[in-house]
Structure 1
């Protein structure tokens, strides 16, 4: 496995954590036709959408070309579709917005968008078939090369949660093992770098990568490949069901994922992009959405390594469109008529505040240790999942106001690693929240071989 980290040359793409100039954006969901708008592309509608996003004070959008529309044949990448993408990016620039572009779409809001040349009669494995792999490689390189001279182009994300194609519960998975997944990621990131050198090229998975035992895309892939680590935080994964919309575990879930990503990284300064986070109903009732949005972002802003927050999503989905999961319709910061919703107003005020007064990272002297097993495959990563002992202990600490770090068990006695992260005490989760009133919710400290200096 190679490290495909690149150092962007444009100031807006630089993810250094020392400046604490956090980025705030939205995942762009077009108001007219949703992502099917690529079939009837209307730049005036796009411009109105982007102006409404910029009106919230956000600085970037993440956009989603539909893969079958852009590459309907393995050897045909439609020039007109690429021109429309460039037109969108240029329009965003005129609105003061930077743009991150996803490639393989892939999977969006419960729907799969896959070209016919890898399905049905032409069935090919997305990750292992040589023709499929070379076709995706050419597609990503073509998009990146077309975008390379746009100053507001942040970089490519390989695709939206492409890992969900690799195994259960997908109904028709393209099976791959961790070695094959790493090879695919490495090759696709190189294609993006070849097309547009020195940009923020990334890959993005849902939380299976952090929580699901046996999943072929692993935490090590997430923190070793690409220019930054991405996390997608959705509290309908059991967190809100167990802890409710205002529970500490729910309100700190995104912060927890950022800290978990930091714990996996070998570079303690590796940036983490909270690339998706939203307030899904009924898990987060509409009356609670604004409070949830503000508290979630404030909590994430305490993390030292966070690059930025990109809310899912910009606009609601038009209810004239059928068959979406119910929670997908009302996730926007704005309505389909581009009216700002309460959560949008709250985030706009918060963004102004955090820009005027950049947050100082919270010191995290205490770390909870977790043991996922072999780091290469993380066979016991579910210990960190919602309901698992690490997650629940961390949430109990958060509920008492303690902002804990996380540390992998094989690094728990590594004084250099702990010192680099400012950790002075490592503990293992054990006891219940009720016991914490009398005793800390952990077993005896795991003392490093040499005590790390205070940060």
Structure 2
């Protein structure tokens, strides 16, 4: 039997948001975690703010590390495991980078040797502090660090794909040095899968680290193009899970839906629970899903200024810890048994060349073809165009039919769409 899919939340403190590290209140944290545990969740993802923990390249604040450990221990008391994101990095539209990497000390986050060694020391220190805690899952290198490497970031730290890979390998090694035998990974926002010039590639996400993380947000053009209740919006998380498998080195590599949420106004508050229910159900139909971690635990308090409007209402709880309908949906999903999904036997061909990733993005031919298949009742996965003739690879994944985007024809009104047979293509 495959292991049960794990359910958790990205922990956003109800008091002070992530600035709570400046005024750390363990009683407040405990109250938050009581609410999370009451939903039947089994893990949280935790976000130290990098400049607060490592304000100088050679100073990792012992007191801050102690507070992180105290939070992990409080989670353990409530039956919650903990994953820790190290390099924050970027959260909810704000960048949190230490002064020793900016302005007068401006150095590339990914290639400057001193910065890289400082980052490695930081990750190793956090991992080592938690290495003996049974509820410590492992480290995520950072939250969507790829957003610093290219546009649309206003001041990117430019790198090549080779340099990005070298950096990731070094950061993951530092996590392993600190806590051997744990699950260590990295996490990118969906530009890694969709943006042609993004140096962090699908191959990096699917091949480096112990499992693949995907972050699903339908404000990326999906909901704007198709609507909140569309096949594309409700299956977007499942699409990213299945898209990642095209680059995976082995058929059994687990995929973690590490972030997914219901962003207003594209998903209005009164529809958030229905959107969550559909999104989770479709993700659970993906073989090899490690877990679902909802963004996020608590709303951002209205007293905090300058957040994008959508950030204020993403929580399962209000900022005074009242559960929403959204929380009840996630709680129900976490408590129900879920049968193992059947193998997906139909594979849609995707380009191996990262310079053509936009074909997989909203509006791209792969994206549109995938959801035409889904709308017609199929359960597609994906395969690289360089592997379509690899019989061993296809057999190992249980794939019996390979189709290209141009074979996936629109569904005629009132009828069932069919695929053009391979020998009919020009």
One of 51, 64, 74 as aligned partner of 2:34: 51
Give the drift of 1:352: 1.1
Where in structure 2 are there 5+ consecutive unaligned residues? none
Q: 2-side partners of 1:260 and 1:196: how far apart? A: 30
8 Å CA contact retained: 1:413, 1:446 = no
Question: Match for residue 104 of structure 1?
Answer: 87
One of 169, 192, 210 as aligned partner of 1:227: 210
2:358 pairs with 1:382: yes
User: Which range is displaced more, 51-60 or 358-367?
Assistant: 358-367
8 Å CA contact retained: 1:251, 1:295 = yes
Give the drift of 1:358: 2.6
Q: 1-side partners of 2:368 and 2:375: how far apart? A: 10
8 Å CA contact retained: 1:262, 1:305 = no
2:421 pairs with 1:444: yes
Q: 2-side partners of 1:416 and 1:439: how far apart? A: 32
Q: 1-side partners of 2:309 and 2:100: how far apart? A: 31
User: CA 1:439/1:347 → structure 2, altered by over 3 Å: closer, same or farther?
Assistant: closer
8 Å CA contact retained: 2:376, 2:416 = no
Q: 2-side partners of 1:64 and 1:254: how far apart? A: 22
Question: Match for residue 359 of structure 1?
Answer: 339
Q: 1-side partners of 2:307 and 2:63: how far apart? A: 29
Q: 1-side partners of 2:419 and 2:115: how far apart? A: 49
Q: 1-side partners of 2:423 and 2:270: how far apart? A: 43
Give the drift of 1:436: 8.1
One of 302, 318, 339 as aligned partner of 1:335: 318
Give the drift of 1:442: 3.7
Matches within 5 A, 1:163-312: 163-312=146-295
8 Å CA contact retained: 2:411, 2:417 = no
Q: 1-side partners of 2:130 and 2:316: how far apart? A: 27
The size of the alignment, in residue pairs, is: 423
8 Å CA contact retained: 2:150, 2:197 = no
Q: 1-side partners of 2:222 and 2:25: how far apart? A: 39
3-state SS of paired residue (1:380): helix
Q: 1-side partners of 2:405 and 2:138: how far apart? A: 39
2:375 pairs with 1:395: no
Q: 1-side partners of 2:92 and 2:335: how far apart? A: 29
User: CA 1:267/1:47 → structure 2, altered by over 3 Å: closer, same or farther?
Assistant: same
TM-score scaled by length of structure 1? 0.91
Q: 1-side partners of 2:415 and 2:292: how far apart? A: 37
Give the drift of 1:361: 1.1
3-state SS of paired residue (1:410): coil
Give the drift of 1:261: 0.7
Q: Deviations over 1:393-433 (max 9, x none)?
A: 11122122211111111111111111111111111123553
Report the RMSD for the aligned CA atoms in angstroms.
1.4
Question: Match for residue 19 of structure 2?
Answer: 36
User: Which range is displaced more, 126-135 or 388-397?
Assistant: 388-397
3-state SS of paired residue (1:274): strand
Question: Match for residue 411 of structure 2?
Answer: 434
Q: 2-side partners of 1:407 and 1:425: how far apart? A: 11
User: CA 1:169/1:60 → structure 2, altered by over 3 Å: closer, same or farther?
Assistant: same
List structure 1 segments (4+ residues) > 4 angstroms apart after TM superposition: 436-439
3-state SS of paired residue (2:127): helix
Matches within 5 A, 1:2-21: 18-21=1-4
Question: Match for residue 381 of structure 2?
Answer: 405
User: CA 1:209/1:441 → structure 2, altered by over 3 Å: closer, same or farther?
Assistant: farther
Give the drift of 1:130: 0.7
8 Å CA contact retained: 1:372, 1:383 = no
User: CA 1:216/1:437 → structure 2, altered by over 3 Å: closer, same or farther?
Assistant: farther
Question: Match for residue 351 of structure 2?
Answer: 371
TM-score scaled by length of structure 2? 0.97
3-state SS of paired residue (1:101): strand
Q: Deviations over 1:338-365 (max 9, x none)?
A: 1110010111112111xxx232213312
Where in structure 1 are there 5+ consecutive unaligned residues? 1-17, 448-455
Q: 2-side partners of 1:362 and 1:404: how far apart? A: 11
Give the drift of 1:439: 6.1
8 Å CA contact retained: 1:239, 1:250 = yes
